[in-house]
Every structure is written in structure tokens, then in C-alpha cells.
Structure 1
């Protein structure tokens, strides 16, 4: 999907922990990716501590809103290990290495990969996971849902053969 590299990079930044760097980048994110304004406007009006607390509440306490794509299809099983290897192989194919800071299926990292390379294969393959996450985020009323809305709008619909 050509032309969505800026959106993917902005979405990656919006889905990481909102530290001081995020706050500094917020005006640029708002301009570069108008599709994310629902979230970036909210972030601009929310105090740093409240934004951080909301992030932790939404993403860190339960897997209901997991940002780890293979969790949606593999759960906490041995099969997930092979999926993570496949993610790493995709990064390596583009000359990139994963840091040990996050697992390779961490959605912001996958979005950054797509942004840097234009390769959306992992996003397309895990489209069903993105839809499930988007539905759950929408259901709990978090502004993060609009970030998933924007990303999903750039991808073809999930197919019957999508990972489950």
C-alpha cells in the first residue's frame, strides 16, 4: 500500500508509551497524519500524567488490548515462538534488527517496519488481529481506537484465510 508510510510512522508513535518525546512530537503528528486527529487532539488536551495513566490502563494490565499481534492468533502457546521467529525474519529481510526492548510482533514496531520499507505483509497477514484490537478499543471508548481505525482503513479486509 504505497503512500501510507507517514501514517504508519505516526500511528507507531501514538501507540507507544506517551513520554516527553511524544508530547514534543504531538504538533508534528497532528499535521503529518490528519487521520489521527481524533487521538492527537485528545492527547493535546490531556495532561501528560493522565495520558500515561490511560495508556497503562488500556494496554498494560490485560491482554484484552494486546499490542502484540501474534498473541491474537497464538495466545500464550509454543506456536507463538515460531510466529515471533517469522516476524524477526521479516525484519532481517529488510536489513533491520529487532531490539531486545520489545518483541518483534509489537504493533508499533510492525508499523515502523511498514513505514520504513513500504512492506505491509505483516499488517495484512495480521489484519484479523488488528480488527479484533480495534473492536475492543472502540468498545472501551478509548481514543486509541481511532489510531487502529486509520491503520485498518489502509489495508484490504481480512480474508477467510486470515490468521486466527
Structure 2
């Protein structure tokens, strides 16, 4: 494994933890994240540390309330990546199935609580399977960047996590910039298919045949 791959996998694992709901395990996650960030390149570590600084000085109850207000109550800050391309349409169901099949092919399965396209889940998968995970992140780059812009506009502390994620990926190509612009202008498709809302993310990837 190259040093670049090691840095990316470490970053993706930490970013995944920081995008999870800030529950009672947050202090331990912050300590782990601090140690990991110290070994990362500056471009990835600097925005990550900005979030860690904020989380470290914020009352956990306030951080949790901000998390819910940001990701559960702001449609533009949706953490489910397939939503940006497909909205709540039948095509999104196909995309979700494809992601589940990608996880299963790598020997991993989701717990029952979470959808496969939550960014925290995708990052956790990428940390375990960097090649396949990188392909998923690249495939959904436009949605990821649109989420980053929405968090920045909302002045959310989680914008720094998205900045760190973006720093692990190649610079946006022309067609990706156009896709981001199109999604920002048009929004996702609006055909409704009865998808229900989903709660805060859990650590959702488990080895096949076992539970954490």
C-alpha cells in the first residue's frame, strides 16, 4: 500500500466517524481523530482539525442538536449521495441496490439501520476497500460537492469534513464542474416513490456473518 493510499484510508475512516451522529462515543472518536490527523498531509488534515477544534469546544448536546438541524431538517444538506442525482425516484432505488451489491462483492454487508449511500457509510467502506470506495466517491462526486457547498452556505462546521473529503480526491474535471452546476441549478428529480426519512447514521458496515 502506497503512502498516498494509507493517508486516504486513514482520512476516510476519521471523516466517517466525524459524520456520524455525535453520541456518547464522541470524546473517544475525537481523540482518535486527533491522532490520525497528525499523520495526514496538510491539505487533508487542516480542514479536519478545524472541525475537531469546533467539536472539542462545543457542548456535546449542542453539537448533536446542530447535527440534527443540519442533516435531518435541511433538504439541501442531505447526506445520502444518490439523492442528488436521482431524488426520491425509482432510479434511486436502482442506485441503492447497485451500492449494496458493491459492498456485498467486497464481503461486507450493511446493518439494518442504514442506507448504503449515506456519506459516512461510503467513507467507512472506502477506508476498508480503497479501490472500490474511491470509485463510489468519484461516481457521486457531483453530489458530494453539492453537499459541501450547501454546508458552506449554511456555515456548518461539517463543511470542514467535506473539505477534507474533497482533498482526498482528484481536482474536479470540467464535466464534474458542469454536473455540480446543473444539480445546483435544477435540484434532484422530484418523482416521489414513498421513501421514508432516515435517522442519524450508525456505524453500519459489518463483516458478512457477524455483527459488531
Query: TM class by shorter-chain length?
Result: over 0.9
The answer for the alignment partner of 2:93 in structure 1 is 81
- Does the CA-based 8 Å contact 2:13-2:123 persist in structure 1? yes
Q: Which residue of 1 aligns with 2:24?
A: 20
Query: Separation in 2 of the partners of 1:88 and 1:147?
Result: 24
Structure 1 length-normalised TM: 0.94
The size of the alignment, in residue pairs, is: 164
Structure 1 stretches of 4+ with a deviation exceeding 6 A read none
Where does 1:29-48 land on structure 2 (aligned, <5 Å)?
A: 29-34=33-38, 35=45, 36-48=48-60
Q: Which has the larger radius of gyration?
A: 2
**Normalization by structure 2: what TM-score?**
0.74
Q: Deviations over 1:92-136 (max 9, x none)?
A: 111001112110101100000000111211001111111100001
- Pairwise CA RMSD of aligned residues? 1.6
Q: Are the counterparts in 2 of residues 124 and 158 from structure 1 also a CA contact under 8 Å?
A: no
| Structure-2 separation of matches of 1:16 and 1:28 | 14
CA contact (8 A) 1:11 1:151 kept: yes
Q: What is the SS of the residue equivalent to 1:133?
A: helix
Task: Report the secondary structure of 2:11's partner residue.
Answer: helix
**Which ranges of structure 1 fall in alignment gaps of 5 or more residues?**
none
Unaligned runs of 5+ in 2: 39-44, 184-212
